[in-house]
């Protein structure tokens, strides 16, 4: 493209120079020839006047006197009455093609002035050299400008091509480069906007994958434990009970998947309803009791009964499961779930006797990838997102011993009571 731009610019310049140059040469040639003819005629008229003046005063007419009145490279011939065969010649008679002017005076004298056309041709040649020099300078300037303009246009296009290639290869970082050309800047704006959209989409996909792998682990672990209980017992009643619980866990697992997909499309989307908070807490305690029993620990619940909160039961269960699992993995001693009321909110606190949250983490414990125990750092971040999606909040009330609290809006009728 650069070569085509340079060639097209040079072609335009050459056409312009050719058209105006040829016209200028023709005009200058005619002007120089006309000027030379006019100068010769003017000189002849002047010599006639001088001759007439000297004849009128009776002065002698000699070549020495008249030679001072004529241009050096010209030839003049003066014929006076009474001496037609003895003309006065000044200068050297030119040969070949000449420019000539013949003038007759009032006293019968004749003056002929001649100039060789070669002198005029030499002047025309010098003029042509000047025109060619100017044309050559114009071509050089056009080449320089064409190269600069081609670089100015092709460099941004090359850069935009590299940006598109980076975008296609999976690097969606916008470059925010502008080039001072409206059309090219428009293309750069579109590419940057596309890069930002792709980056957001990739971020959402990666976040969904990370959240799903983390959030599904807990229900799958609990489901696996129930299935193990079924394989280890021969009691039909126990099998039926465990299978019923496993089916309930499958339903909650489906709800978790649906919740993750919903949050990946719009994290603010919630499906809050009024539900029995005691039932969710009880279900989580029963689900995790086998795991704690296997670890030689206990899980208990206490606090105010009969609380009804507003939220998504599956999301609340998932938040509590994350807190209980963290206590199982990083805590120690008995894990206690306590329900209480503060203002128009229902609160579920989860605490244990472990070392708690390291002092250097503090409130950063809810940030993604932040973990003090070599874990993924996703659990609490996802749990906070789930809580906030339904208008609640998840907070760390105390670092040592750790006390996490889930705040949920209470049902209106429950508040009036």
Question: Which pLDDT tens digit goes with each residue over 280-336?
Answer: 999 889 888 888 988 899 999 999 998 999 988 888 888 898 899 889 988 999 999
Domain boundary residue among 115, 139, 163?
Answer: 139
What CA–CA distance (Å, rounded) separates 264 from 201? Answer: 10
Whether the pLDDT of residue 13 is over 90: the answer is no
Distance of CA 109 to the CA centre of its chain: 89
Summarised one tens digit per residue, pLDDT across range 145-203 is: 888 877 777 777 778 888 888 777 777 777 777 877 788 788 888 888 888 887 777 76
Question: Does 301 reside within a domain?
Answer: yes
Q: Is the peptide bond preceding residue 180 cis, with omega within 30 degrees of 0?
A: no
Assess whether 411 and 275 both reside in one domain: yes
Flag whether pLDDT at 375 surpasses 60. Answer: no
361 falls within a domain? yes
Q: What percent of the chain has a predicted confidence (pLDDT) above 90?
A: 18
Indicate whether 171 belongs to any domain. no
Name the band, by pLDDT with cuts 50, 70 and 90, for residue 7: confident
Residue 149 lies in a domain: no
Q: Structurally, how many domains does the chain consist of?
A: 3
| Structural domain contains residue 256 | no
Q: Is 338 a domain residue?
A: yes
User: pTM of the full predicted structure?
Assistant: 0.47
Sort strands 403-410 and 393-398 into parallel, antiparallel or unpaired. Answer: antiparallel
122 and 187: one domain? no
Domain check: are 106 and 182 in the same one? no
Spatial strand order in the sheet of 110-116: 88-90, 75-79, 110-116, 98-104
Out of 93, 120, 139, pick the residue that ends a domain: 139
**Percentage of residues of the chain with pLDDT beyond 70:** 85
Query: Same structural domain for residues 343 and 410?
Result: yes
Same domain, residue pair 119 and 195: no
Give the pLDDT of residue 372: 53
Q: Which of 269, 314, 319, 273 is nearest to 412 (CA)?
A: 273
In a domain, 300, yes or no: yes
The answer, yes or no, to whether residue 386 has pLDDT greater than 90, is no
Q: What is the SS3 assignment for 58?
A: coil
Which range marks the domain in which residue 51 is found? 2-139
Q: Which residues contact 398 (CB under 8 A, 6 or more apart)?
A: 351, 356
**Residue 77 belongs to a domain with what CATH number?**
3.30.450.250
Q: Is residue 226 part of a domain?
A: no
The number of angstroms, rounded, from the C-alpha of 72 to the middle of its chain's C-alpha atoms is 74
Query: Which H/E stretch holds residue 362?
Result: none
pLDDT score, position 80: 82
Identify whether residues 318 and 185 lie together within a single domain: no
Residues 119 and 201 occupy one common structural domain: no
Rounded-to-integer distance, Cα 319 and Cα 219, Å = 12
Backbone angles phi, psi at 219, to 5 degrees: -60, -35
Q: What is the mean pLDDT of residues 45-67?
A: 80
State whether 125 and 193 are in the same domain. Answer: no
Do 111 and 207 lie in a common domain? no
The larger pLDDT score, comparing residue 82 to residue 244, is at 244
Contact 149, 166 (CB under 8 A): no
**CATH number of the CATH domain containing 382:** 3.30.565.10
Do residues 412 and 276 share a domain?
yes
Q: Are residues 280 and 401 in the same domain?
A: yes
pLDDT surpasses 90 at 84? no
pLDDT digits (tens, 9 = 90+) for 218-272: 677 777 777 877 887 788 887 887 788 778 777 767 766 766 666 555 544 456 7
Please, which residues bridge with residue 116 across strands? Answer: 98
DSSP string, 143-179: HHHHHHHHHHHHHHHHHHHHHHHHHHTT---------
Largest interatomic CA distance in the chain = 165
Which is higher by pLDDT, 2 or 42?
42
Looking at the fold, whether 133 and 199 belong to one and the same domain comes out as: no
At a CB cut-off of 8 Å and minimum separation 6, what does 65 contact?
54
User: Long-range contact list for 287-293, CB < 8 A, 24+ apart?
Assistant: 287/222, 287/245, 287/249, 287/321, 288/222, 288/321, 288/324, 288/325, 288/328, 290/225, 290/229, 291/221, 291/222, 291/225, 291/328, 292/328, 292/335
């Amino acid at each position: 493209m650069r070569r085509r731009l340079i060639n097209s610019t040079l072609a335009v310049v050459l056409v312009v120079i050719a058209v105006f140059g040829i016209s200028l040469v023709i005009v200058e040639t005619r002007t120089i020839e006309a000027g030379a003819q006019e100068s010769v005629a003017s000189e002849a008229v002047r010599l006639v006047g001088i001759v007439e003046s000297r004849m009128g005063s009776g002065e002698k007419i000699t070549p020495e006197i008249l030679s001072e009145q004529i241009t050096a490279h010209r030839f003049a011939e003066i014929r006076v009455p009474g001496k037609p065969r003895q003309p006065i010649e000044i200068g050297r008679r030119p040969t070949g093609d000449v420019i000539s002017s013949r003038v007759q005076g009032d006293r019968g004298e004749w003056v002929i002035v001649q100039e060789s056309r070669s002198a005029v041709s030499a002047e025309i040649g010098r003029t042509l050299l000047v025109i060619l020099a100017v044309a050559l300078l114009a071509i050089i300037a056009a080449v320089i400008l064409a190269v600069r303009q081609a670089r100015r246009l092709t460099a941004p296009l090359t850069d935009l091509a590299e940006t598109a290639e980076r975008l296609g290869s999976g690097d969606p970082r916008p470059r925010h480069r502008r080039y001072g050309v409206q059309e090219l800047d428009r293309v750069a704006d579109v590419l940057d906007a596309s890069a930002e959209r792709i980056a957001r989409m990739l971020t959402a996909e990666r976040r969904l994958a990370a959240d799903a792998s983390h959030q599904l682990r807990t229900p799958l672990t609990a489901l696996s434990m129930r299935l193990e209980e079924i394989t280890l017992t021969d009691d039909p009643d126990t099998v039926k009970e465990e299978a019923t619980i496993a089916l309930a866990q499958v339903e909650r697992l489906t709800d978790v998947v649906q919740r993750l997909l919903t949050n990946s499309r719009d994290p603010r989307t919630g499906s809050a309803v009024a539900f029995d908070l005691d039932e969710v807490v009880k279900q989580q305690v029963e689900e995790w009791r086998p795991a704690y029993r296997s670890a030689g620990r206990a899980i208990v619940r206490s606090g105010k009964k009969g609380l009804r909160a507003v939220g998504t039961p599956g999301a609340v269960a998932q938040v509590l499961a994350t807190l209980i699992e963290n206590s199982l993995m990083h805590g120690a001693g008995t894990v206690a779930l306590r329900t209480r009321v503060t203002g128009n909110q229902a609160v579920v606190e989860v605490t244990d006797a472990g070392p708690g949250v390291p002092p250097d983490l503090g409130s950063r414990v809810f940030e993604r990838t932040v973990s003090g125990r070599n874990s993924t750092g996703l659990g609490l971040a996802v749990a906070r997102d789930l809580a906030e999606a339904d208008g609640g909040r998840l907070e760390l009330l105390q670092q040592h011993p750790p006390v996490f609290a889930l705040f949920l809006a209470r049902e209106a009728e429950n508040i009036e009571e």
